[in-house]
Amino acid sequence: MTNLVKDEENPEMRKKRIRMKPKKPLRDVKDSDYRESESLFACNKCGKKYLTREALMVHLSCHLTNAPRECRCRFCFENFPTQFHLRDHIKKRHSDEIKKEEEERLTAKPVQVWQCKFCSKTFTLRSSYRKHLEIHTMGKDRICDVCGKGFRQMSNLKEHLKIHSDEKMYKCTIADCNRAYKQKTALKFHLKCHSDDKPFPCEYCGKHFKDKSYLKVS
């Protein structure tokens, strides 16, 4: 300790010292973790030497198993007492890795994502997306890519897809009627308005209707 006292009295030596004080005391560091060797403070765990006890205490935090996860280097997994020390470490020791990460980010191809229409969950694989949709469609594995609706028969899916198209290929054949529809079922329903046939009676009042849907009570 005699040399250390002399160093403290020398202004030039004080200027050369790097004092790194952690924001909080490292209570988990024991006295047995460090030793004085030739006027330097040496780490008993890895042998690194420091001019001051404070600098050694900061270094010892890298050996603590309970160090905060947010202060752990993602490249070498070394721990640090503060974000400041972590950023300084990455800048000095891992500049090549940072540069490589940036290059990969700039050259990376955009990943296509499929999002569930029912629960908003996202998938990077179309097969996983379709498998997930079965949860919502209850076995209707023919899925519409536009709205996510499921069908048991491929023919029903093809008919449904016409809803999302602007083409109205089903035209009314009655003279002077220019109505056209995207789906065959819609045209079939429309044609009933040209007929006087009312095959659906109400069981309560006896009134007849052209379509069964009119019997439903809202």
Query: What pLDDT is recorded for position 115?
Result: 87
In this structure, the answer to whether residues 118 and 211 fall within a common structural domain is: yes
What per-residue confidence (pLDDT) applies to 39?
A: 52
Domain-ending residue, one of 57, 80, 106? 106
Instruction: Check whether residue 55 and residue 124 sit in a common domain.
Output: no
The reply to whether 140 and 52 lie within a common domain is no
**What is the model's pLDDT at position 32?**
47
| Residue 34: burial class (beta carbons within 10 Å; 0-12, 13-18, 19+) | buried
The answer to whether 39 touches 32, Cβ cutoff 8 Å, is no
What CATH number corresponds to the domain at position 196?
3.30.160.60
pLDDT of residue 28: 44
Contact 87, 49 (CB under 8 A): no
Domain carrying residue 35: 2-106
Please state the separation of Cα 41 from the chain's center in Å.
Answer: 46
Contact of 187 with 181, CB cutoff 8 Å? yes
Is residue 182 within 8 A of residue 162, CB to CB? The reply is yes
Residues 8 and 83 in one domain: yes
Residues 7 and 97 both lie in one domain: yes
Question: Amino acid identity of 171?
Answer: K
**Looking at 106, 141, 174, which one is the last position of a domain?**
106
Same domain (yes/no): 49, 96: yes
Domain count, the chain: 2
Check whether residue 101 and residue 41 sit in a common domain.
yes
Per-position pLDDT tens, the chain of length 218:
444 444 445 555 544 444 444 444 444 444 444 444 445 788 887 888 888 877 777 777 666 655 555 678 888 878 877 788 888 888 888 889 888 888 877 777 777 888 887 788 888 888 888 778 777 767 666 778 778 777 777 788 888 887 787 777 778 887 788 788 777 778 877 877 777 777 778 877 878 776 777 667 65
Same-domain check for residues 102 and 119: no
Q: Where does a domain end: 71, 106, 141?
A: 106
**pLDDT (0 to 100) of residue 18:** 41
